[in-house]
Amino acid sequence: MARKPRPDRAEVCIIGAGASGATAAKVLTEAGVRVVALERGPWRRRESFGGDELANINRYNLWPDPLLNPRTARTSAAEPAREELFCPVPQMVGGGTVHWQGWLPRFTPNDFRLRTIAGPLEGASLADWPIGYDELEPYYDRVEWAFGVSGLAGANRFEGPRSRGYPCPPMPMSRYAENFHRGCAALGWNSFPTPQAALSRPFGGRPATVVSAFAQQHGDPTGTRSSALNVFVPQAAATGRYDLRPDCYVRELVLDAEGRLRSAVYEDADGDLVEQEADLFLLACGAVESARLLLLSRSGRFPAGLANGSDLVGRNVTFHEYSAAIGLFDDPVYAWAGGGYVSASSFQFYEHDERRGFVSGGHVAAAGVGIPLPINWRLPGAPAWGAEAKRVDREAFNHSMAVAMVLHDMPQHDNRVDLDDGMVDAWGLPVARITLTPHRNDLDQGRFLIDRSAEILEAGGARSVTKVYAERVTGNCSHQHGTARMGDDPAASVLNRWCQAHEVDNLFVIDGSSFPTGTGANPTLTIMANAWRVCDHILANRGRFARAGLAASGASR
Amino acid sequence: MAGEAAIEQEAPRAFDPHQRDTVAAAMARIIPSDETPGAREAGTIDFLERFLSGTGFIYAKPDGSGFETLSGRHEQAWRRRIDILRRRYAEGVRELDGRSRHRFGRDFVALAPQEQDEILRAAERHEAWPGGEAPAADAGTGPALQQTSAEIDLDFLPLLVLHTRQGFLADPVYGGNRDQAGWRAIGFPGPASLAEVHSGRYSTLAWFAEGHTDPSFENRKPHHGA
């Protein structure tokens, strides 16, 4: 590798251009800040996406190719790690929002104080957040309106107070949503249209979203879905202050003599090494890769990884597990038709209720079976091949739907991301190794939520129901959090309430790494709202982060 | 048809004739033909040979106008993956024949369908057999719901099932799902072509919400690939 001339120093360098990195880029560039962004993956245009299940799902067109970007996993430190595509997220401009379906519920006020609400849980490292719902609410509102979200204010009776409604009414109600709402109504449970990163009508200069079977886990060739790629990246680029460099893989963050971050060293598309200096660095690679980059950045001051004097970087990692009850209906439901677009949710079993015998709960929602499809469609319990398998495919494909859950898994000190000492990626860097044992609470909560999901299907008219309990945590939601907790105590957290490293004052981590608990809801709305909040703080303190004379920003408030 | 002729013409081979016949026969048991088309009519073997012929048919262009040319690390990764898969098929065919000769005294292709099913089930269960070693079962458990799988980690039988399903239900541009036979069999009104999705013309709103029509192919023109 050759070393290229050093580019101009930047005011802010954002590493990653997914949900949080693109939000930060929009907020900072629109406020006049010049930003350099380093994204390891390509900057794909909408013309490069298609309705191709084989390419997108089975051939890693959007998922990381495990031969290039492997990960390893194990259930305890005592056992060898095996190669596993654990909790993958697309690595490209737009990140997980490129292929998501975009369920965007808000967290509830109690999500920010679960330790207080539920008390201690043996074996878990529950913690309250250093911030509350009220502090985040204005940013939820900004993201919903800037990004373009369709939903119905007030419909989720467990939601916290809102400063206003959604910019667009809910997306059309699907046939499977009708079954879901009917089931919930019969049981006396609250249900609501799922807030969706899509436009039910033209908004903000963008046309209404095309409803297609090729949505969940597919890119969007129409450019009509709300994603970081379609919305925040172009908005940041339009300022002329967003120097977004795709195919630039940051290998290490380098300190200066004073212990502040000096530069990010990256390998560019030509395979050459480049050193980018900046006043301020925002890490936005997702909770697994952000932790990995911190751990890869070792120095005399931080021999165990950057900002890791507490030994907490990578620990307390949480992943949502997706599982479902599957119902068969006499009338066709065509649950493939939304491509994972759900349109009906319930938070009835979201809040903590000690009578249930476990901590917290999760979001349940109507969904297709085994989306994406049809290749990857499969009725649980059916044979894999032969005449009977074909019969089940034929009879159930148009007549089945799922009610799925977002499992709120508990943080544990020993559940962690670290570096695998036995495997490197295609760029020669040690890969992320996941060590994770599900907490008893995760399994109990999962069974409870799947049982309730099955009841919704039965009450909604299903002829038969199959339950698929989550027996382990595999990261199959792509949701990842907790690897650099925020908190007020530097001994018990990596970041302060502004997601600024306690030990490195010009380093902020703005993705889900900061979340002390994973909650039972889809995290990306909160990730974007929190990134916006952090950037507002950075803007309010602009100038303090210059090369010299910096005050700890936490003290400035 | 012109489309089929084009595929035939450019169809590079990954298998020798015996391997091809054996894999095709096994695929015909994975998705059998009955009153609706099965793997044989959908051309899943053509899909598979095309896939394994090199790195020229990995990704269709999103508008269906041809195939992407891979380069750099991606091309190397796919070359490595295809080498591994071709070896697994070569071993798998040897295993099916070995089991068939041991049990019935004939190669797999010469067996009756029910006998072939018996052999496939034995391979699936990794049953020991004196003529050879039963390959070790994958140490892990199956993927969770929706989890994408690392194809090269699969044993021969699950791999064959996956590829048969892909050849039956992937977009016809990849050489299988001939005349949308797979989509018709399960009642999926897929797009007339990849260009339909790429252009935004393909909408499933009619099936999604009120005002639906039953899946019907009467006014659809099947396509045969690029």
pLDDT in tens, B80-103: 999 999 999 999 999 999 999 999
Instruction: State the Cα–Cα distance between residues A428 and A251, nearest whole angstrom.
Output: 10
DSSP string for A169-211: PPPPPPHHHHHHHHHHHHHT---BPPPBSS-SS-BTTBPPPPP
DSSP state of A58: I
CA distance A178 to chain B (A): 9
Q: What is the pLDDT of residues A129-175, one digit of tens each?
A: 999 999 999 999 999 999 999 999 999 999 999 999 999 999 988 88
Q: Indicate whether A543 pLDDT > 90.
A: no
Q: Which of residues 372-411 of A touch B (CB under 8 A)?
A: 373-376, 380, 384-387, 389-390, 393-394, 397-398, 404
DSSP string for B85-111: HHHHHHHHHHHHHHHHHHHHSS-GGGS
Instruction: State the Cα–Cα distance between residues A258 and A504, nearest whole angstrom.
Output: 10
Question: What six digits make up the tokens of A283?
Answer: 């890490």
Query: Does the CB of B113 have a partner CB in chain A at under 8 Å?
Result: no
- Set of chain B residues whose Cβ sits within 8 Å of the Cβ of A371: 146
Question: What six digits make up the tokens of A77?
Answer: 């430190």
Which of A333-337, A443-447, A511-515, B32-36 shows the lowest mean pLDDT across its residues? A333-337
The answer to whether the Cβ–Cβ distance between A213 and B151 falls below 8 Å is no
Instruction: State the Cα–Cα distance between residues A296 and A290, nearest whole angstrom.
Output: 10
Q: Indicate whether A251 pLDDT > 80.
A: yes
Size of interface A-B (CB pairs under 8 A): 192
Q: Which residue has the tokens 């050849």?
A: B167
Q: What is the pLDDT of residues A272-298, one digit of tens each?
A: 999 999 999 999 999 999 999 999 999
Contact A227, A98 (CB under 8 A): yes
Question: Closest Cα partner for A133 from A115, A109, A114?
Answer: A109
CA distance A85 to chain B (A): 7
Q: What is the pLDDT of residues B196-221, one digit of tens each?
A: 999 988 888 888 876 544 444 443 34
- Set of chain A residues whose Cβ sits within 8 Å of the Cβ of B210: 172
What value does the mean pLDDT of chain A take?
A: 94
Q: Which residue has the tokens 């140490």?
A: B139
The pLDDT of residue A114: 97
Instruction: State the Cα–Cα distance between residues A215 and A218, nearest whole angstrom.
Output: 5
Percent of chain B with pLDDT over 70: 79
Instruction: State the Cα–Cα distance between residues A140 and A133, nearest whole angstrom.
Output: 9
- The whole-number average pLDDT for the span B153-158 is 92
- Set of chain B residues whose Cβ sits within 8 Å of the Cβ of A375: 165-166, 169-170
Query: Does the CB of B161 have a partner CB in chain A at under 8 Å?
Result: yes
- The whole-number average pLDDT for the span A408-427 is 97
Amino acid residing at A30: E
- Set of chain B residues whose Cβ sits within 8 Å of the Cβ of A468: 145
First to last CA, chain A: 44
Report residue A200: phi and psi, to 5°: -80, -15
Question: Closest Cα partner for A253 from A70, A527, A46, A509?
Answer: A509
Q: Is B205 strand, coil or helix?
A: helix
Instruction: State the Cα–Cα distance between residues B148 and A403, nearest whole angstrom.
Output: 20
Identify the band that residue A550 occupies on the pLDDT scale cut at 50, 70 and 90. very low
Question: Closest Cα partner for A534 from A504, A498, A488?
Answer: A498
Query: Does the CB of A211 have a partner CB in chain B at under 8 Å?
Result: yes
Identify the band that residue A555 occupies on the pLDDT scale cut at 50, 70 and 90. very low
Percent of chain A with pLDDT over 90: 87
Q: What is the pLDDT of residues A37-87, one digit of tens each?
A: 999 999 999 999 999 999 999 999 999 999 999 999 999 999 999 998 899
Instruction: State the Cα–Cα distance between residues A372 and A213, nearest whole angstrom.
Output: 8
Q: Indicate whether A495 pLDDT > 80.
A: yes
Distances (CA, A) of B38 to A449, B176, B180, B225: 38, 11, 11, 19
Between B77, B171, B209, which is nearest A52 by CB? B171
Q: Indicate whether A399 pLDDT > 90.
A: yes
Burial of B70 (0-12, 13-18, 19+ CB in 10 A): middle
The pLDDT of residue B130: 79
The answer to whether the Cβ–Cβ distance between A385 and B141 falls below 8 Å is no
Q: Centre a 10 Å sphere on the Cβ of residue B125 and count the other Cβ atoms it contains.
A: 11
Q: What residues contact B193, with CB distance under 8 A and at least 6 apart?
A: B64, B173, B223
Q: What is the pLDDT of residues B118-152, one digit of tens each?
A: 999 999 999 988 777 655 555 444 445 555 567 88
Amino acid residing at B64: G
Question: Closest Cα partner for A123 from A481, A350, A479, A442?
Answer: A442
The pLDDT of residue A465: 97
Question: What six digits make up the tokens of A324?
Answer: 């479902």
Interface test with A, best of B138, B204, B214, B216 (most A CBs within 10 A): B204
Q: What residues contact A245, with CB distance under 8 A and at least 6 apart?
A: A36, A37, A38, A39, A268
The pLDDT of residue B148: 57
The pLDDT of residue A553: 40
Question: Closest Cα partner for A528 from A143, A66, A41?
Answer: A143
Identify the band that residue A444 occupies on the pLDDT scale cut at 50, 70 and 90. very high
Please report which helix (H) or strand (E) contains residue A309, including its range. Answer: none
- Set of chain B residues whose Cβ sits within 8 Å of the Cβ of A173: 209
**Whole-model pTM?**
0.94
Q: What is the pLDDT of residues A517-538, one digit of tens each?
A: 999 999 999 999 999 999 999 9
In chain A, whose CA is at the least distance from the CA of B47? A54
The answer to whether the Cβ–Cβ distance between A339 and B204 falls below 8 Å is yes
The pLDDT of residue B5: 43
Query: Does the CB of B100 have a partner CB in chain A at under 8 Å?
Result: no
Identify the band that residue A440 occupies on the pLDDT scale cut at 50, 70 and 90. very high
- The whole-number average pLDDT for the span A102-130 is 97
- The whole-number average pLDDT for the span B62-74 is 96
Q: Which of residues 72-91 of B touch A (CB under 8 A)?
A: 73-74, 77, 80-81
The pLDDT of residue B10: 55
Instruction: State the Cα–Cα distance between residues A299 and A297, nearest whole angstrom.
Output: 7
- Count Cα neighbours of A553 within 13 Å in the Cβ-side half-sphere: 28
Q: SS3 helix, strand, coil % of chain A, rounded to 5?
A: 25, 20, 55
Query: Does the CB of A423 have a partner CB in chain B at under 8 Å?
Result: no
